[in-house]
Amino acid sequence: MGRHRPTAELPRHLDELYRRFPFERSLADDPLAMIRPIVQDRRSAEVLGIVAATLAIGNTTAIRGALGRLWALEPGPPADWLLAPPTPARRRALAPFRHRWIRGDQLEYLARVLRAYYADHASLEDAFVVGLAEGGFAAGLDRVAHVLRGDGHSRGLGPPPSGYAHLFPSPLELPRSPCKRLTLFVRWMVRDRYPDFGYWSRVPTGELRVPLDQHVHWIALNLGLTDRRTRSWAAVEEVTAALRRIDPVDPVRFDFVLCHTGISGDCPKERDLTVCGPCSVRPDCRLWRGRAVAA
C-alpha cells in the first residue's frame, strides 16, 4: 500500500460528515448508551466510565450486553454498589462474570482500588493533570493507568487477580498499544460536547488523543491521516496530529463519527457505489483514488 494523501478539501468533507451524522442512531449502539442514563455526577461518571471503557472490547452489542449483565447484578445505582465497602455477597455476584478475557474478580478488585483512591482524592482528573503537566497526554494516561492498577494506594487490598495490571496499559510502557480504552475514557470525561460528559475541566480538548479502534484506524489509513498499518501509540499521535490540523481546539470531535461510520456499516470498507456515492469523504478515500462515481 503506497502513500496516500487526502484532497485539500478534507477539512470541509469531514465537517460535512460530522454535520450530517445521525448521532442519536449511533449512540444507541455505543457503550455510552449504557452509562449516560445512570450517570449522576462526576464520581459516578468516572466509575461507570472506567468500567464501560475497560469492557469496550469486541462488538458493541456484546459490550452493551456485558454492561447490562453487570448493572443487573444488584438493584440500585451501579456506581454506589461498586464504591460500597466490599462484601462477600458482591464478590460472589461478580465471580461468574465474563466478557472476553475480562473476569468478575478483576472488576471486584478494580472496585476496591477505586474506593481506596477516592478515600484521598476527589477525581481521577487529579492524577491525569499531574502527568499532563509533567509530560503531556501520554504521561497523564500513564498516571491514570497506575492509579487503576492500585499503585500507591492498594495497601490492604491484597495482591491483584491474575492479568489485572494488563487491563490498564500505559503508552509510556507499551508504545505498541494504542491504549484505546483509557484514551476513550478520557475523551468521555473531558469533552463537553455531545455525546461526551465533560466533567473534567482542567484538560483542554486540544490535548486529547484519538481512541484508535479498528474502525477509526481503517478510515484514518484510507483517508491518508496516517501511513501506519498497525495500531500503536505512534499511530494515535499521527492521526491526532492530522485531525488537530483540521480542528486545533477539538480534534477528537471526529472520533465518534469516524468510529460509528465503520460500526454502522455506513462505510463498507470496500468500493461500493451504492454506499460510497453519497459519502462526504469519498473524494479523499484511497479506494476511490482517480475514480469517478458516475460511470
Asked whether position 34 contacts ligand SF4 by CB under 6 A, the answer is: no
CB of 4 to ligand SF4, least distance (A): 11
CB under 6 A: which stretch of 4-12, 130-138, 156-164, 274-282 binds ligand SF4? Answer: 274-282
CB of 275 to ligand SF4, least distance (A): 6
CB of 281 to ligand SF4, least distance (A): 5
DSSP state string for 221-280 = HHTTS---SS--HHHHHHHHHHHHHH-SS-GGGGHHHHHHHHHTSSS-SS--HHHHTT-T
- Give Dmax (Cα) for the chain: 70
Q: If we measure between CA atoms, which residue out of 11, 45, 10 comes closest to residue 31? A: 45
Cα–Cα distance list, 217 to 23, 187, 222, 259 (Å): 20, 17, 8, 9
Asked whether position 275 contacts ligand SF4 by CB under 6 A, the answer is: yes
Asked whether position 267 contacts ligand SF4 by CB under 6 A, the answer is: yes
- Distinct helix (H) and strand (E) counts, the chain: 14, 2
The residue (of 169 and 262) whose beta carbon lies closer to ligand SF4 is 262
Sequence letter at residue 22: P
Q: If we measure between CA atoms, which residue out of 189, 243, 249, 190 comes closest to residue 212? A: 243
Asked whether position 257 contacts ligand SF4 by CB under 6 A, the answer is: no
CB of 61 to ligand SF4, least distance (A): 21
The residue (of 191 and 260) whose beta carbon lies closer to ligand SF4 is 260
CB under 6 A: which stretch of 39-47, 171-179, 225-233, 278-286 binds ligand SF4? Answer: 278-286
Of residues 218 through 247, those in contact with ligand SF4 by CB under 6 A are 219, 222
**Block residue for cell numbers 454535520:** 19
Total number of residues binding ligand SF4 (CB under 6 A)? 12
For residue 242, report the phi and psi dihedrals to the nearest 5 degrees: -65, -40
Q: In the numeric block, which cell numbers belong to residue 162? A: 491474575
Count of residues in the chain? 295
The residue (of 69 and 291) whose beta carbon lies closer to ligand SF4 is 291
- 80: CB partners within 8 A, 6+ apart: 44
Asked whether position 288 contacts ligand SF4 by CB under 6 A, the answer is: yes
The residue (of 54 and 222) whose beta carbon lies closer to ligand SF4 is 222
CB of 287 to ligand SF4, least distance (A): 5
Asked whether position 194 contacts ligand SF4 by CB under 6 A, the answer is: no
- 270: CB partners within 8 A, 6+ apart: 287
Residue ranges binding ligand SF4 (CB under 6 A): 219, 222, 267, 269, 275-276, 279, 281-282, 285, 287-288
